[in-house]
């Protein structure tokens, strides 16, 4: 490999690995005829062993919930120009939210659940910029869990990745079961997730919700940003009662999209993936222009990308959210990817030039999701009152 190709490789490596604070596996071009799968050099030095993980979280303890009606979480924050009320503890509907990868360190294969870490700061970011979308319609329940490290997605092996994800899923399943037994009290619920959280949420749909009485209580699912492990046709065809959403008021169905600029980098997937357009709530390839965009939540706080063994916090506090901004996004599903117009780093701190907007799957469509959740809840209760 020539010096120029080395430089191309390392520049591409730097750009790609830090685009979106999320679990990703990339193929980086290092020349006209070669592709290399990238691994962090700081990855865990020993193979994954479940016995090396910290003890499983006890979901009877409030410290293991990043959000709940009795926890003062960042999920309660509301954009300054949004006037609807936070309804935590009083809503007739819950949302069970599974957060994405918070743990970027190579010290272990799964999060040690350290409350004084970059990983915990990232969970706070996720509650503020993702889960808060639902705080005016639903009681938010979001478990902390031993999420798979970013390095699980960078091994170059789907079997090794899936081994760690399967371990992490056990926590999510345990949290969901605890939530149902102790917190839900028979209420309808929305299932929501992002990235790694979506990998686990699809398993909840398949193993715990579909073809059970819970399916009739699931208002809708927003399972966003699956990236590598898409919400595939095979997965959807294997479900009995739950299907892909095709309209704005359809119930008992799944929405999914991966947001990428029109000329942006698409993360390679294991297979195909569902694309819902959040400006129309359809699955066709019609473009919706900025006039149809209700509003984005500006991102003014940075994700903590510390991948060192120390997983050091920056002690960043998120005390408020900016005004939502309407009419800044166009959206069109093309080949299973949600293509949008280029966005501005003045609105979204940390935006990368490669045009992959993984971390904007929720913020870019904040009001669109917020409004749609209420619309579907209205449809749910209207349907229940029809003889």
pLDDT in tens, 40-76: 556 888 899 999 999 999 999 999 999 999 998 999 9
> So what's the pLDDT on residue 200?
98
Domains identified in the chain, total number? 1
Asked whether residue 265 is domain-assigned, the answer is: yes
The alpha helices in the chain, defined as continuous H runs, are 3-17, 118-129, 158-179, 196-204, 233-237, 366-385
Asked whether residue 26 is domain-assigned, the answer is: no
**β-pairing, 243-244 with 189-194?**
unpaired
Backbone angles phi and psi of 29, in degrees to 5: -70, 130
Asked whether residue 150 is domain-assigned, the answer is: yes
Asked whether residue 84 is domain-assigned, the answer is: yes
The string of pLDDT tens digits covering residues 87-97 is 899 999 999 99
Asked whether residue 29 is domain-assigned, the answer is: no
The string of pLDDT tens digits covering residues 12-48 is 333 333 333 333 333 322 222 222 233 455 688 889 9
Asked whether residue 7 is domain-assigned, the answer is: no
CA distance 116 to 184: 30
Q: Which domain does 121 fall in, by range?
A: 40-385
Asked whether residue 55 is domain-assigned, the answer is: yes
Q: Hey, is 341 helix, strand or coil?
A: coil
Asked whether residue 97 is domain-assigned, the answer is: yes
Higher pLDDT, 333 or 351: 333
């Amino acid at each position: 490999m020539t010096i120029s190709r080395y430089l191309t490789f390392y520049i591409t490596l730097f750009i790609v690995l830090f685009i979106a604070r999320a679990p990703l596996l990339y193929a980086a071009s290092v020349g006209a005829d070669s592709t290399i799968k990238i691994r962090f050099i700081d990855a865990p030095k020993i193979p994954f062993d479940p016995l090396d993980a910290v003890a499983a979280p006890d979901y009877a303890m409030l410290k293991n919930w990043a959000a709940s009606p009795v926890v003062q979480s960042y999920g309660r924050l509301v954009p300054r120009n949004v006037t609807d009320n936070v309804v935590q503890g009083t809503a007739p509907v819950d949302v069970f939210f599974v957060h994405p990868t918070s743990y970027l360190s190579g010290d272990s294969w799964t999060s040690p659940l350290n409350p004084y870490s970059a990983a915990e700061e990232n969970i706070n970011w996720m509650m503020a910029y993702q889960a808060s979308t639902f705080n005016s319609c639903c009681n938010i329940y979001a478990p902390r869990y031993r999420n798979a490290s970013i390095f699980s997605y960078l091994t170059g092996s789907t079997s090794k990745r899936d081994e760690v994800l399967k371990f992490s899923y056990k926590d999510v399943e345990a949290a969901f079961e605890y939530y149902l037994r102790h917190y839900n009290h028979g209420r309808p619920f929305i299932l929501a997730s992002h990235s790694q959280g979506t990998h686990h949420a699809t398993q909840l749909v398949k193993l715990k919700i579909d073809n059970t009485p819970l399916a009739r209580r699931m208002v809708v699912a927003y399972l966003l940003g699956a990236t590598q492990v898409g919400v595939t046709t095979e997965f959807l065809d294997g479900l009995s009662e739950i299907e892909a959403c095709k309209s704005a008021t359809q119930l008992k169905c799944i929405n999914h999209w991966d947001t990428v600029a029109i000329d942006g980098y698409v993360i390679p997937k294991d297979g195909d993936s569902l694309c819902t357009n959040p400006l129309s709530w359809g699955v066709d390839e019609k473009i919706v222009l900025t006039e149809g965009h209700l509003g984005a939540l500006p991102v003014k706080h940075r994700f903590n990308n510390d991948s060192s063994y120390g997983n050091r916090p920056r002690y960043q506090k998120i005390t408020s959210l900016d005004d939502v901004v309407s009419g800044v996004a166009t959206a069109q599903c093309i080949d299973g990817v949600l293509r949008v117009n280029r966005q501005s780093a003045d609105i979204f701190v940390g935006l990368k030039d490669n045009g992959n907007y993984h971390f904007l799957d929720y913020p870019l469509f904040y009001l669109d999701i917020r409004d749609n959740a209420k619309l579907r809840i209205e449809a749910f209760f209207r349907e229940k009152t029809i003889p």
